[in-house]
Structure 1
């Protein structure tokens, strides 16, 4: 009985891989923030940033496992582009990005748990334009979600939402047509964004719209 209670207690207290990932990410951000405050050489900060991102990418790969989609590489990069709050690409959705090219079709994969934690952090943003709801279904309908989750240097502006048959086993799917912009005015290069929540996985696919 004592052994069973000990095992039960250790199981309850054991951190999950996602908990370990979040702890490692937050520590890396805190370390880099301290380096910036101390006016450390940018080369040193960049090296620390790259090392931390590589570690986080390995942790995410262990959490998410492999992804096999026809036409996409089997290797991925970290969706978060920087852990330095001063850089473009900081604060993006925790996940892995599979891309055919820098500007080509891509798929970002995360977990429901990591996405919910990310949304919770965005729900407390001071600026109204950056605030997001904690509910995944509600967030996936907002331009700001895609801007902050997968767009590092441009804002997503939706043109229209369109119906899409839910894949087998999926809990929800949202399909949107829109464009990425850094300015005000018409967006002629339209993209299709499809977000799928299936079990514990959240996938966001993005590609240029066919002419």
Structure 2
């Protein structure tokens, strides 16, 4: 086991707290920072402090933003009657990159997971219900991930949203463009069949 002086050990330890960063990667990052020009470390430290102080949740959609409401919620050209519910802020980025959706969003900040102790009360479901009851939303698109937690969350939301009189839909999951059927797993094929639409 390698030992470093106090500040270096602390830096390595802090890097290992980040998701996907093991001890060796943390060590490489720490020494990269040490060997880089001082401006890099100062810029990194400043950016970390700034993001923690300036970023907050949008009071409408719960997405992360430096302005409240966020730019998407302020955009009057978007369809305010359609709401896409996603698990995390990074899911909004993915949807926006696709450039195919022009409605609004609601960010749950997680998914229901009894194994990890995450219940509906830990998500922004209360804010979602309040929003739907106080606006003219006609359709809610559930865009949770297609894992067990995402499916559990989607089923729970569908059950509590349908009595509110809104149309509840789920994004289709299926075969990625450019891939072959022979390489698809059984669950992907099932989801592709379930999400099929009229053709021609």
Given the two structures, how large is their TM-score scaled by the length of structure 2?
A: 0.30
Given the two structures, how large is their TM-score scaled by the length of structure 1?
A: 0.29
Q: Which of the two has higher C-alpha Rg? A: 2
